[in-house]
Structure 1
Amino acid sequence: MKNKLIAFFQRILYWIKRNKIKSAIVFLLLLIYYFSLPRTLFHEPYSTVIESEEGELLGAKIARDGQWRFPEQDSVPDKFKKCIVYFEDEYFYKHPGFNPVAMVNAIKQNRKAGKVVRGGSTLTQQVIRLSRKGKSRTYFEKFIELILATRLELGYSKNEILDLYAAHAPFGGNVVGLEMASWRYFGLKSTQLSWAESATLAVLPNAPSLIYPGKNQIKLLEKRNRLLLKLNQEGIIDKQTYELSVDEPLPGKPYNLPQIAPHLLQRVAKNQEGTKVKTTVDFALQNRVNQIAKYYYNQYKQNEVNNLAILVIDVKNRNVISYVGNAPTDKDHQKDVDIIDAPRSTGSILKPLLYAAMLDDGELLPNTLVADVPTQIAGYTPENFNLTFDGAVPAHRALSRSLNIPAVLMLQEFGVNKFYEELQKFKLRDINKTPDHYGLSLILGGAESNLWDLCRSYANLSSTVNYYTKSHGKYRTKEFAELNYENNFEADFGDETNQKNILGAGSIWLAYNAMEEVNRPEGDEAWKFYDSSLKIAWKTGTSFGNRDAWAIGTNSRYVVGVWVGNATGEGRPTLTGVTSAAPILFDVFNLLPRQKWFETPYDDLDEVEVCKLSGYLAKEGCPKIKQWVSKKGKTTAICPYHKVVHLDQTEQFQVNSSCESVENIVIKNWFVLPPVMAWYYKGKHIEYLSLPPFRENCIGTQTASMDFIYPKANSKIYLTKDFNSEIQPVIFKVAYSQRENKLFWYVDNVYKGETKVFHEKPIMMTAGFHYVTVVDEFGNEIRRKVEIVRE
Structure 2
Amino acid sequence: MIRGDRSAAAGGREKSRPRHRALALLALAGLLWTGALARDRAEAWIEATELPTLAPQLSVEMRAAGGDLLRAYTVDEGRWRMGLRPDQVDPLYLAMLRAYEDRRFDRHAGVDPRAVLRAAWQALRAGQVVSGGSTLTMQVARLLEHSGTGHWAGKLRQARLALALERQLSKDQILSLYLTLAPMGGNLEGVRAASLAYFGKEPTRLTPAQAALLVALPQAPEARRPDRDPWAAEAARDRVLARMTAAGVIDAETERAAQGDPMPRTRQPFPQLAAHLTDRARAAQPDLTRHDLTLEVPLQAALERLAASALQGMQPDLSVALLVADHRDGRILASVGSRGFAAQGQGFVDMTRATRSPGSTLKPLIYAMAFDAGLAYPETLIDDVPTDFSGYRPVNFDGAFRGPVPVREALQLSLNLPVVALTEALGPARVMAALRRAGVAAELPGGAPGLAISLGGLGVSLEDLVTLYAGLAAGGTARPLHWRQGEGEGPGAQVTSAVAAWQVGHILADLLPPDGGPRGRIAWKTGTSYGHRDAWALGWDGAHVVGVWIGRPDGTPVPGAFGADLAAPLLFRAFQHLAPEPTELAAPPRGTLLLPNDALPVPLRHFRRRGAAAPDAQAPRLAFPPDGATLDLAGASLPVRVERGTPPFTWLVNGAPVLTGQRRAEAFLPRLGTGFADVTVIDATGRSSRASIRLN
Output the TM-score relative to the length of structure 1. Answer: 0.68
2:253 matches 1:230: no
Match of 2:310 among 276, 292, 296: 296
1:503 CA drift (Å): 1.7
Structure 1 CA distance for aligned equivalents of residues 121 and 61 of structure 2: 45
Structure 2 CA distance for aligned equivalents of residues 61 and 345 of structure 1: 34
1:172 CA drift (Å): 0.8
Aligned to 2:550: 564
Aligned to 2:536: 550
2:488 matches 1:491: yes
Aligned to 2:473: 462
1:568 CA drift (Å): 2.6
CA contact (8 A) 1:348 1:542 kept: yes
Match of 1:201 among 208, 214, 218: 214
Match of 2:463 among 452, 456, 477: 452
Aligned to 2:438: 426
1:411 CA drift (Å): 1.4
Aligned to 2:298: 284
Please identify, of 397-406 and 563-572, the stretch whose mean Cα deviation from structure 2 is larger. Answer: 563-572
Aligned to 2:573: 587
Q: Are the structure 2 counterparts of residues 611 and 335 from structure 1 closer, same or farther at C-alpha, using a change threshold of 3 Å?
A: closer
Match of 1:275 among 283, 289, 301: 289
Equivalent positions of 1:165-244 (< 5 A) are 165-212=178-225, 217-244=230-257
Q: Deviations over 1:193-239 (max 9, x none)?
A: 21111111111112111234586554433332221112112222122
Aligned to 1:19: none
Q: Are the structure 2 counterparts of residues 572 and 691 from structure 1 closer, same or farther at C-alpha, using a change threshold of 3 Å?
A: closer
Aligned to 1:627: none
Structure 2 CA distance for aligned equivalents of residues 448 and 708 of structure 1: 40
Aligned to 2:105: 92
* AA aligned opposite 2:490: F
Aligned to 2:532, the other structure's residue is in SS state coil
1:557 CA drift (Å): 0.8
Match of 1:618 among 598, 602, 607: 602
Structure 2 CA distance for aligned equivalents of residues 77 and 452 of structure 1: 41
* AA aligned opposite 2:321: A
1:366 CA drift (Å): 2.3
Structure 2 CA distance for aligned equivalents of residues 482 and 129 of structure 1: 50
Aligned to 1:359: 371
Equivalent positions of 1:497-576 (< 5 A) are 501-518=494-511, 529-533=515-519, 535-576=521-562
2:478 matches 1:439: no
* AA aligned opposite 1:196: A
Structure 2 CA distance for aligned equivalents of residues 77 and 146 of structure 1: 29
Aligned to 1:448, the other structure's residue is in SS state coil
Q: Are the structure 2 counterparts of residues 75 and 359 from structure 1 closer, same or farther at C-alpha, using a change threshold of 3 Å?
A: same
Match of 2:480 among 460, 475, 482: 482
Q: Are the structure 2 counterparts of residues 54 and 684 from structure 1 closer, same or farther at C-alpha, using a change threshold of 3 Å?
A: farther
CA contact (8 A) 1:49 1:265 kept: no
Q: Are the structure 2 counterparts of residues 642 and 332 from structure 1 closer, same or farther at C-alpha, using a change threshold of 3 Å?
A: closer
Structure 1 CA distance for aligned equivalents of residues 227 and 594 of structure 2: 82
Equivalent positions of 1:746-765 (< 5 A) are none
CA contact (8 A) 1:530 1:586 kept: no
Structure 2 CA distance for aligned equivalents of residues 682 and 166 of structure 1: 87
Aligned to 1:400: 412
Structure 1 CA distance for aligned equivalents of residues 576 and 178 of structure 2: 46
Query: Structure 1 regions of 5+ residues with no counterpart?
Result: 1-25, 466-478, 520-526, 625-632, 646-671, 694-703, 710-732, 741-756, 761-773, 775-791
Structure 2 CA distance for aligned equivalents of residues 42 and 220 of structure 1: 30
Aligned to 1:204, the other structure's residue is in SS state helix
* AA aligned opposite 1:458: Y
Structure 2 CA distance for aligned equivalents of residues 129 and 334 of structure 1: 45
Aligned to 2:352, the other structure's residue is in SS state helix
Aligned to 1:396, the other structure's residue is in SS state helix
Please identify, of 241-250 and 57-66, the stretch whose mean Cα deviation from structure 2 is larger. Answer: 57-66
* AA aligned opposite 2:297: F
Structure 2 CA distance for aligned equivalents of residues 152 and 530 of structure 1: 69
1:564 CA drift (Å): 1.3
Structure 2 CA distance for aligned equivalents of residues 185 and 108 of structure 1: 38
Query: Structure 2 regions of 5+ residues with no counterpart?
Result: 1-39, 630-638, 651-658, 667-680, 686-696
Q: Are the structure 2 counterparts of residues 736 and 377 from structure 1 closer, same or farther at C-alpha, using a change threshold of 3 Å?
A: farther
Aligned to 2:386, the other structure's residue is in SS state coil
Structure 2 CA distance for aligned equivalents of residues 683 and 324 of structure 1: 52
* AA aligned opposite 2:309: Y
* AA aligned opposite 1:42: A
2:300 matches 1:316: no
Aligned to 1:340: 352
What is the aligned length?
609
Q: Deviations over 1:78-104 (max 9, x none)?
A: 122122222221211111222122233
Q: Are the structure 2 counterparts of residues 214 and 345 from structure 1 closer, same or farther at C-alpha, using a change threshold of 3 Å?
A: closer
Please identify, of 128-137 and 509-518, the stretch whose mean Cα deviation from structure 2 is larger. Answer: 128-137
CA contact (8 A) 1:172 1:204 kept: yes
Aligned to 2:589: 601
CA contact (8 A) 1:515 1:539 kept: yes
Q: Are the structure 2 counterparts of residues 547 and 95 from structure 1 closer, same or farther at C-alpha, using a change threshold of 3 Å?
A: same
Q: Deviations over 1:31-78 (max 9, x none)?
A: 99399556x51342x333334444444333333531122244562221
1:256 CA drift (Å): 2.0
Structure 1 CA distance for aligned equivalents of residues 628 and 597 of structure 2: 19
1:549 CA drift (Å): 0.7
* AA aligned opposite 1:267: R
What's the C-alpha RMSD, in Å, of the aligned pairs? 4.1
Q: Are the structure 2 counterparts of residues 119 and 579 from structure 1 closer, same or farther at C-alpha, using a change threshold of 3 Å?
A: same
CA contact (8 A) 1:199 1:224 kept: yes
Aligned to 1:747: none
Q: Deviations over 1:641-694 (max 9, x none)?
A: 677x7xxxxxxxxxxxxxxxxxxxxxxxxxx8x67xx79x9999687998855x
Equivalent positions of 1:691-770 (< 5 A) are 692=643
Structure 1 CA distance for aligned equivalents of residues 128 and 566 of structure 2: 71
Q: Deviations over 1:235-291 (max 9, x none)?
A: 221221111112223321222223444334333333355634454333333343344
1:508 CA drift (Å): 0.8
Aligned to 2:366, the other structure's residue is in SS state helix
Aligned to 1:58, the other structure's residue is in SS state strand
* AA aligned opposite 1:598: A
Query: Larger radius of gyration, structure 1 or 2?
Result: 1
1:30 CA drift (Å): 7.4
CA contact (8 A) 1:307 1:329 kept: no
